[in-house]
Structure 1
Amino acid sequence: MRQASWNEMFAPKREPLVLTPDVPREPAGWRRVFWWEDVLSFLLLSAMVLAVVDSVYRAGWVDEMPSLYPLAFFGMLMAAMLARVRWPEALLHLLALPVGAAASLATILSIVPGATPWARYGELQDRMGAWFNVAFNGGISNDELPFVVLVVPLAWIAAYLSSWAVFRWQNVWLALIPAGFLLLSNVSYFSDQFSFSVLVFLLAGALLVTRLHLMSRSKTWREQDTPYPPFLSLSVLHITFWLAIVLMLAAWMMPQAGESGPLASAWEGATSPIAERATGLSRLFVSVRGPQSASVHRFDDIVPFQGPIELPDTLALEALTQPLDQRAYLRAQSFEIYTPTGWQQASRRDLALEADEITRVDDLVDGRATTSVWITSDGKTGDTMFTIGQPRRVDRPATIQWTISLEDVAGIQATNGLSEGSTYQATGSVSVATVEELRASASVPSSIPDGIPPTFSNASWAYSSALLSRYTQLPETLPTRILQLAVDLTENERAVYDKALRIEDYLRTFPIDFDIPVTPRDRDTIDYFLFDLQRGYFDYHASAMVVMLRTMGIPSRLAVGYVLQPAEREPGSNLYRVTEQSAFAWPEVYFPGYGWVEFNPTPSQPRIQRFEPVAVTIGDDEDGEDVVGSLGLENLPGQIGAGGEAGALPFGGDSSGNRNLWILAGIATGIAAMAFFGAGWGRYLWIRGLGDAPPAARRWEQTLRLASWSGNAPDPAQTPREYASSLRQRVRGVDDVELLADDYVKQRFGQKSDHPTDTQSDEAWEQVRNGLLRKLLRLR
């Protein structure tokens, strides 16, 4: 144990050592610009802003977008330096704006072609002048430069204001919230570039928010002479960094845009009002790419020529149809005004329809049939309602858009809107006119009277002036070689139908290519397609046919929608899951007396099958009713010509006459024997197995036999009702066949007791029998 010495015991007591902490001070003067605290804040702000710039740049909205990184960085640096100058803010902004405008102009001119800066500036003036002319006078612009002119200065302004908010106002939220909104909007359109830009933004934003809060507290401490560690901000930054890493990992595991239903729905609901208001501006920025899953056709008031496109496999709608004998077109709307860069809608009027109210599209035309379809919307096609053919009826309140008359309906919109999962039934009208009927409806006379321009076809005299004025419109700048090509292709044809067929055949030789270049400026797109590209897709093929027909004075228009393809049909049903890969466009040509008739010049889809002319005429009645009624074949088909009065034969009295008489008698006897044998065999086939069958079953079985003999045998997978609906579509004059199918189903699968034949069923059977017999006799 140690003993204390006398010196230690009686030595004077020492004062305790007290360390007085210093209060960190901000550097003054020019040193303030290079203070490490501000430099660190600037680096975090740069990372956050440039992450947004990177997202916009990598999205590839247009091909000619210049690099925005130097411009944004310059805007942030300029604002950070001016923020330390204690002059009035308005004066500082007035000094900054000319500098920012010059930097933005230099960035824009870097992508404008020209040998000198003055030549580039002249090119910029010309292109912007043309764009403003389209903006104020109507039309479609496919120039990318106006979008670049809009984005470049906005990038500088956004970067400048973000830096000003941080370093002058000390308010990080004014920088963070607008930048985050822009980033989220961009990512919601282009989901595949979610990772890098969003994660950097989240990391830099979290660090900057924490740092600015600490800097604000540090300023208060300095004003109060409260000491604190000089490198406290670095310690807090270190802790915040790891917390931000956790936030980044959580963000990485979040569903990407479009994969989270509730989040996507909420975002769509918040942005839909803005998107609807901006729809009218789409004609001014046609070259701007939309989201990767967007519709090829936006179903608004324009159809631009977009150049390269992609057909995503995103679901557009579901369609449940009646059995179809060929691919059907789901029609959305039609377009009347052609411009060198795309199609526009002409002025239209609206008419409100009650549910199930019938339109007047078939009031003045013949040779048309109705087809119903049940549509379930996926929410991506707006309020547009689809029909197979011209809109005739829908089962909910709607508004039709008509042009020159109520019989000329361009499209139909749901009055109360359509959301995801909305289902409606729509009935359309399609042409079933025969080739000969269409061919005879309009033709070009052999001579053209004086005063008729050679570019105006004589076929125009078959149409009304209102129809011609609306549906033969073409721009004055249309190259005349398009007309010359149309005339060369159709010079040997007089019928409008044959002219359309020749043009359709010619365009189907142009191969399909979705990766075509955008039409060069100052070129007409159809001229470029016909004489330079000679490849493309449905928008180009269909538009070329419409334009070529219009040059000859034939009314025609462009229709857009979807095509029902077998690949999208659910096996064993008539349900089609229609995706954007089925987007389509086709021409509609007007035929007097028969209305609008669809054509398909696009080789990716088969031709539209027409009813061919009948080769054999039955009796004197066009419909064959008298002949079929005289057959009396309730129980036996095929006794043709068994009755009737024979004409007198020129018998003579010589041996040669007698010999001829015996020859003729032998021939007649052979024919009679064959007829008798055929009648017996036909009767056996007709009643075989039906001796004890109930009337409903007998009528249905005989319907199947007649239909099979006429080449319309049922599919084994079809139910009686499905087959009846299919047969009614394929064979004219058997509209009541579904009643026979219903009677058979009730008798076969309902009550087992016999169902007596009633007058309605007998009349239906007679009508169906006669229709099938006419079909049988025409085929054989």
Structure 2
Amino acid sequence: IFVLEISFLVWWLAYLGAWTVFRHGYVWRGVVMAAVALLVNTYYAPNPVTGFLVTFCIVALLLLAWANLITNRQRWRTFRITFSQDIGFDFMRTGLLYTITIITFAFVAPSLGRNAWFHRVLAPINQRWEETTQEFNRLYEGLNRQERLVATGFGRTLSLGGARNVTDRAVFQVQTAKGRYWRAVTFDEFNGRQWTNNAEIEVEFEADGTIPVIEWSQRKPLTQTVTLLASTGGVVLAAPDVQQSSLPILGSFMPVLGAEGETEASAEVSNELTYILARTVLEVGDSYTVVSNLTDITERALREATVDYPLAISTPYLQLPDDFSPRIVNLAGEVAGSADDSVYDRVKRVERFLRGYAYDEAIEAPGEDQDPLEYFLFEIQRGYCDYYASAMATMLRSLGIPARTVSGYAEGLYDEETGIFVITERDAHTWVEVYFPAYGWIEFEPTAGESVLERPSGADLPEPSSIPGAPDEFDDFNDPLIDQDFGGIQDLPPEFLDGGIFDTTFRPSTQWIVVTVLLTLAALVGGWWLMRRRVWQGPDGFVLEPPVLVYERLIGWAQRLRLATQTGLTPYERSAILTQELPVGAPFIQRITDIYVQFRFAPRAIQGGESDGELESNWRQLRPVLLRAWLERRLRRGDEPRKPH
């Protein structure tokens, strides 16, 4: 039923689109209906279908160009404006180039503000603008003006408010092998409207000193060189978890249990770095190097992780306000599924659920009497990263899963030539980290505006005994394999020989073969139809005046017969030449010319419908004469002996 309904919807959209375009000339109506359907499918499609969208945009813009040409041709004929009959080819060629340019720019433009090369090109202009702004501010210090809000500073609190006010101004760049998040601060306590970092342990470290971090499993060191392009308020930005810095820093720590996930009674409590400030003033253009212990974990490891949360983790990271919304608790239970499933699977369900909410940076702030999370989840159902992350962290906490929000920056734009990530104000971001015993804090991305975090599955390779036909075990593992009798290929199981791993024959998909054949046939039929219209009917359009249409057909045949092709000839002069060459069709040629001249030049032009029947009758009798003359000329040309070179 679903396939039938979709097929009917597609047919109906195509029918209405064709009707509005070819019957009434309303091109935009036909295009918009199909565009809405395609955009909805593009947004919700499980697999990328951007190619269909690009193809549709090209065809739609070409259709608009063609419709504009037809409208202008009708207007030119109405006002007796002469134009070339071959204008269609030139017009559509230019339209195609314009279309490709527009679509290319549409895909490239959003990322220009985050492109490192683009920033280098604009650097002199930006510098001059900053100097001009500073000079203006110096001359008019007394003016009361609104301060510019920026997203380059992070403190110990994060409030859920209204619209974000960020720009594409570059903040810093990072030279490193890989990156996903540049952490600034983690939050543990939530009071219903605001997150807070309650780290009370502060320790100073000298430059290049080693920072004691917990040795979580499945981590790899990552070196990063950060160069500031704007002020960051002294916050040291880096991938988690920082274990060394070239700057002297002040670190804020929270207590956390050891990496092996021991019980609270037997474990030794360690501290975790949650916020870093530089102990020196960081100026624009300064660089520093940090080494982080970056997670490199698999999905399998996360699914098999235990749930033995130490008290140092469960106490701060399961905290919720006393009046926390029961609606959100119920929603979390419905979305996460059975408590018997792994923590990782339940977390991923909540993440996928929240990514279904619309991303919107221009939302209004919730009222004083409104719960911000209920406002996001149940009322407006749209928002930005602060709301996504807050909703996910609190929903997981209500399920007994330790989680926290983290603020910093998303990865930014990577320049492959220089190996540098360029991060702008717009990349300021908040995400979620979930605690897994022995593996530490693992990042998750609930925000719809960001790409999904992809991790390796970690699935084990099949054991030797799982190979069909192989023995369960060898008598002596040290025996040379060459002494084993495996037989020949003919002794292999059928599943290996019939489409198995030894089947290297390329078999293209049947669907692709059918699609290719249908597209080829459609191209051939379309080409034949266009040629037929050009040969038999002349120029096309929505509605053409019959005198002009029939006369243009006549002139088109004259050009194919190489008659009356001189420029500057009047209609009657062309008619005389054609009549002399085609005496059989003389009366029809003369009458068609008379009607055309009267329509174009007479004080009282022929009105539509007055001579349609006569024109059609004359053309119907003249067309076989023209075709016969054309064939005779073609045959005569083929019989002519070739001149020797």
TM-score (norm 1): 0.41
- Greater C-alpha Rg: 1
TM-score (norm 2): 0.49
